[in-house]
Amino acid sequence: MWRYQAGTSAELWAPTEGGNTSTPAVGPGGREVAFVSRRQGRGRLYLMPAAGAAARVLAESLDVRGAPSFSPDSKWIAVTASEGAESSIFKVPVDGGAPVRLTKEISSNPVWSPDGKLIVYSGPQVGILLTVKAMTPDGVAVPLPNLHVRSLGERYRFTPHGKSLVLQQGPFRDREFWLLDLATGKLRQLTDLKGGDAVNSFDVSPDGKQILFDRLRENSDIVLIDIPQQNDR
C-alpha cells in the first residue's frame, strides 16, 4: 500500500506484513487510513495514520474481507466480516470498542453515505448478481428500487452530497456507469464505454463531477510458427 502526495510516493504497508485484499479507505478528515490485510488465513481490519506509522488492529474477533467504509464523523467503520458464522455487515468503533452486527443475512460491500444516514450494501448472491440494499446505521432496512450488480468488485459509490448513487450496471465486460436519484428512484445512464474491458473498482471525485476507475484489458499476440519439414522414413 502506497501514498502519493505532492509528487512524492511513500510505502505505508509492505507485502511482508500481510497481503491487502481490497481498496483502503481514507477517513473523512484525511488523517487516517483503514484497510484489510490477510495473513495466516485471516483478514484483519487495521487503522493507520495517513502520514504512515504503526497500524493497530480493530475488532480482533472478526475475520474481515472486502473494502472498509468510514462513517462521516470518523467514529465508525463499516466492514464485511464473519464472527463464527456467515459474512455479515458490522460497524466497528474506531476507539477500539466491540463491533456491532447490522445484518442477519449474508451480505457484503458496505458503503456509508456522506450524510451518515444510509449504509448501502449487497445482499445474498444469486448466480453472478448481488441485490443492492440499504439500511440506517442502526440496521433498519430502507427501501431501494430493484437493483442488481455483478459480484467481484466495488460496484457503487455515493455522490458527495449523498443524494445520488453511482452504480456499475450491465453484462460482463460491457458495464456502464449509471446514476440513481435516491429521492425519486430514477436511473440515468452516464457513460457509453467501449466494451471488452473489465472494471473492478471506481470512485467519485470530491466535487462530484468525475469518476476515477480502473480498466483491465486482456490482449493476445498471434504468432506464426514455422514447423520444420521432416523427411519421411
The full set of domain ranges for the chain reads 1-103, 113-218
| pLDDT 10s digits, 165-206 | 999 887 766 788 999 999 999 999 998 887 767 777 888 998
Pairing assessment for the beta strands 32-39 and 25-26 based on DSSP bridges: antiparallel
- Under a CB-based contact definition with an 8 Å cutoff, are residues 82 and 44 in contact? no
pLDDT at 73: 95
| Least confident window among 33-37, 44-48, 95-99, 197-201 | 197-201
Hey, do 1-103 and 113-218 end up sharing a CATH topology, with the first three levels equal?
yes
pLDDT at 54: 82
> Which grid coordinates are listed for 200?
473492478
pLDDT at 200: 77
pTM: 0.83
Q: Is pLDDT above 90 for 226?
A: no
Say how far apart CA 76 and CA 33 lie, in whole Å.
12
User: Greater confidence, 160 or 229?
Assistant: 160
User: Greater confidence, 41 or 101?
Assistant: 101
| Alpha-carbon dihedral sign for residues 182, 186, 187, 188 | negative
User: Which residues are within 8 A (CB) of 213 and not within 5 positions of it... i.e. 6 or more apart?
Assistant: 177, 199, 201, 202, 203
| Least confident window among 23-27, 96-100, 123-127, 165-169 | 123-127
Question: In this structure, which amino acid lies at residue 202?
Answer: F
pLDDT at 170: 77
pLDDT at 231: 65
pLDDT at 88: 93
Mean pLDDT of the chain: 86
440494499: which residue's cell? 133
446505521: which residue's cell? 137
pLDDT at 20: 75
Q: Is pLDDT above 80 for 49?
A: yes
Helix (H, G, I), strand (E, B) or coil at 16: helix
Fold (CATH) for 1-103: Neuraminidase (2.120.10)
- Under a CB-based contact definition with an 8 Å cutoff, are residues 165 and 155 in contact? no
Q: Average the pLDDT over 6-14 and give the result.
A: 81
Q: How confident is the model at residue 1 (pLDDT cuts 50, 70, 90)?
A: confident
* Alpha-carbon radius of gyration of the chain: 21
Superfamily per CATH, domain 113-218 = TolB, C-terminal domain (2.120.10.30)
Q: Is pLDDT above 60 for 41?
A: yes
